[in-house]
Chains A and B, each alone.
Chain A
């Protein structure tokens, strides 16, 4: 769907998959775009505002980019297998509501509800896309509507669900806590990314994901159970949405049924700026990590600036275009696929 003209160069060479795996993270220059953009944005804003370039602010930005980052990495897995997931925003909103209610009844144990909700919807999406042959856009749009409806139903009167007393304080304090200056939420996010990277690069399952994304027909011929792998990919994405719900609960202390509008597009942007291609076959968690960091840095920098919010939106749009341009330029310079 999103084939660029540059793809005419990227013919699917048989050894492409192997070389991606062998050289892993470092061999893929295109994925350094995320790092580059994050650094450029940070430097630009730090130069303009005295308070931006401090360790304190770095911790601030790190504490904020978690939800977008985790959603983006889930999206990256689905994009890897040639799909995308529009329901992530609605699913994490639903997860916050159900988890808040679960925690109000059962205490901290209720936190487990969040990833469970995500897994359920991930399974639904995966089954619809693979076994029922529904296009990802329709399948995930359908589950988006279903999740929104369910969230409005689960929350009394469609209002936000307040987390009761102790549980709320525990979560909110975690949001504020840091270990050696690095916010706990950032460490949580980093762990998620490390796990995803491990799965992608060091397990057979990860290799199968790349194979299905690269060429499903060849993968099937080799004996990969393409449908099962696809379902697993969407389920993982749903799981990430559930984890995001936990992060949001830590930030807000409430279940919010109407939250997350627009996050599906933002997370797709995070994945794409992080080097994924919507036509599938490419994924690098570290690119996505820095892409999410870049987006958050830009947003925080714009908040600092106090410019008209309308102008801030234009700047955000320009920076997304620039990120795409930088990606192209680096491809030309380094001549990688």
Chain B
């Protein structure tokens, strides 16, 4: 009798010990605030964060400001998250300077903040998970320069103004071209098109305006997804470079329609962000910065890249 009771007691104690860390983690609520979940970039980031949150057993509250521009909306959402008493915040800022005051207020009220990709511009962050957007632009320039043999006319679709990540990519592209391929001229820059449909129209108009256009730079792969078929239909051979690697872009690189794409391991960054967030929530030491370098993906190395760390699967719904 006693042996049985002892056995059960031991089992119960063991079970309690095992479940205790999980119970602890389940008390952690992580708030994740991004500008817009309508883009492949943030969707893949959310995928990484969510998968890791499931693994760690923490509760995840996602909010999205609806638009890369909605700075005041994002600030309001973070206020709501603070009101909800989340234990830690992961913030990808629509505008790094504008988000600084609210981030510091959160930190002051005891909620640590992890910066993701475009962090709020404060040095009080618990951690920063980074991508080098400037580098992504630089890699596109190198790819473009090589593909064009060092000379020709190039046009840029740089996304709308005021988005720091897009501006950094464009800057990296322009400066690298100027430095390393001075014979390549940038003849046009469009800062209005964002959707695939708009990019198709701009590309078609450019083909008319600049019959000898040799290359087009696109900020995100959704634009390239429209531009490449449009150019094919117009029977123009123009080199297109892009960033990010959603499934359709993977196919284009495979088939040789795109010479390259500069990417970051977004999903892995998402996972890192959540890991750091849980550490911060538990008041454990965090890494000051986790930087993953930008990579250039071409036909040659695409098979060696672990795509699951780069892009969310096609059937993921944030």
| Touch test A–B (CB under 8 Å) | yes
- A residues apposed to B, CB below 8 Å: 49, 51, 56-57, 60, 63-64, 67, 152, 155, 157-160, 162, 172, 176, 248, 251-254, 256-262, 299-300, 303-306, 308-310, 313
The answer to whether A254 and B98 touch across the interface, beta carbons within 8 angstroms, is yes
B75 at interface by CB-CB < 8 Å = yes
The answer to whether B61 and A252 touch across the interface, beta carbons within 8 angstroms, is no
The answer to whether B318 and A310 touch across the interface, beta carbons within 8 angstroms, is yes
- B residues apposed to A, CB below 8 Å: 37, 59-64, 66-67, 69-72, 75-77, 79-81, 83-85, 95, 97-98, 100-101, 105, 160-162, 167, 191, 317-318
Distance in angstroms from A216 CB to nearest chain B CB is 36
Residues of B near A256 (CB, < 8 A) are: 69, 71-72, 95, 98, 162
Distance in angstroms from B128 CB to nearest chain A CB is 20
The answer to whether A300 and B80 touch across the interface, beta carbons within 8 angstroms, is yes
| Bound-complex Cα distance A333 to B191 (A) | 52
- Beyond A259-B69, A303-B81: 12 further Cβ-contacts under 8 Å? A60-B79, A64-B79, A160-B97, A252-B75, A254-B71, A254-B95, A256-B72, A258-B161, A300-B76, A306-B59, A308-B62, A308-B318
Residues of A near B101 (CB, < 8 A) are: 172, 252-253
| Bound-complex Cα distance A304 to B81 (A) | 7
Residues of B near A67 (CB, < 8 A) are: 72
The answer to whether A253 and B62 touch across the interface, beta carbons within 8 angstroms, is no
Residues of B near A300 (CB, < 8 A) are: 76, 80, 83
The answer to whether B162 and A257 touch across the interface, beta carbons within 8 angstroms, is yes
Residues of B near A260 (CB, < 8 A) are: 69
Known pairs A49-B84, A261-B70, A304-B84; A310 contacts B75 (CB<8 A): no
Distance in angstroms from A252 CB to nearest chain B CB is 4
Distance in angstroms from B163 CB to nearest chain A CB is 8
Residues of A near B83 (CB, < 8 A) are: 51, 56-57, 60, 300, 304
Residues of B near A159 (CB, < 8 A) are: 161-162, 167
Residues of A near B84 (CB, < 8 A) are: 49, 51, 303-304
Residues of A near B72 (CB, < 8 A) are: 67, 248, 251-252, 256, 259
Q: Can you list 16 contacts pairing A with B, beta carbon distance less than 8 Å?
A: A49-B84, A56-B83, A64-B79, A160-B95, A251-B76, A254-B71, A254-B97, A256-B69, A261-B67, A303-B80, A304-B84, A306-B62, A306-B63, A308-B318, A309-B64, A310-B317
Residues of B near A308 (CB, < 8 A) are: 62, 317-318
- Closest chain A residue, CB of each to CB of B77: A303
Q: Nearest 9 A-B pairs (CB), nearest first?
A: A158-B161, A306-B61, A303-B80, A309-B64, A258-B162, A252-B98, A258-B69, A64-B76, A60-B83
Residues of A near B69 (CB, < 8 A) are: 256, 258-261
- Closest chain A residue, CB of each to CB of B104: A172
Q: How many A-B residue pairs have CB under 8 A?
A: 106
Residues of B near A309 (CB, < 8 A) are: 37, 62-64, 66, 318
| Bound-complex Cα distance A308 to B97 (A) | 27
Known pairs A303-B77, A309-B63; A162 contacts B97 (CB<8 A): yes
The answer to whether A310 and B97 touch across the interface, beta carbons within 8 angstroms, is no
| Bound-complex Cα distance A305 to B76 (A) | 15
Distance in angstroms from B43 CB to nearest chain A CB is 11
Residues of A near B71 (CB, < 8 A) are: 160, 252, 254, 256, 259
Residues of B near A155 (CB, < 8 A) are: 162
Residues of B near A305 (CB, < 8 A) are: 61
Residues of A near B191 (CB, < 8 A) are: 158
The answer to whether B63 and A303 touch across the interface, beta carbons within 8 angstroms, is yes
Known pairs A152-B161, A306-B60; A262 contacts B66 (CB<8 A): yes
Residues of A near B160 (CB, < 8 A) are: 258
| Bound-complex Cα distance A261 to B71 (A) | 11
Residues of B near A63 (CB, < 8 A) are: 79
The answer to whether B60 and A259 touch across the interface, beta carbons within 8 angstroms, is no
Distance in angstroms from A49 CB to nearest chain B CB is 7
Residues of B near A252 (CB, < 8 A) are: 71-72, 75, 95, 98, 101
Distance in angstroms from B120 CB to nearest chain A CB is 12
| Bound-complex Cα distance A158 to B161 (A) | 6
| Bound-complex Cα distance A257 to B163 (A) | 11
- Closest chain A residue, CB of each to CB of B76: A64
- Closest chain A residue, CB of each to CB of B85: A51
| Bound-complex Cα distance A155 to B69 (A) | 15
Residues of A near B167 (CB, < 8 A) are: 159
Residues of A near B76 (CB, < 8 A) are: 64, 251, 299-300
Distance in angstroms from B164 CB to nearest chain A CB is 8
| Bound-complex Cα distance A313 to B71 (A) | 18
Instruction: Output the residue of B59, B77, B105 with the most chain A CB within 10 A.
Output: B77
Distance in angstroms from B51 CB to nearest chain A CB is 15
Instruction: Output the residue of A56, A57, A252 with the most chain B CB within 10 A.
Output: A252
| Bound-complex Cα distance A258 to B98 (A) | 13
Distance in angstroms from B117 CB to nearest chain A CB is 18
Residues of A near B162 (CB, < 8 A) are: 155, 158-160, 256-258
| Bound-complex Cα distance A312 to B29 (A) | 19
| Bound-complex Cα distance A262 to B68 (A) | 12
| Bound-complex Cα distance A165 to B37 (A) | 33
- Closest chain A residue, CB of each to CB of B65: A309
Instruction: Output the residue of B71, B83, B95, B167 with the most chain A CB within 10 A.
Output: B83
Residues of A near B62 (CB, < 8 A) are: 306, 308-309
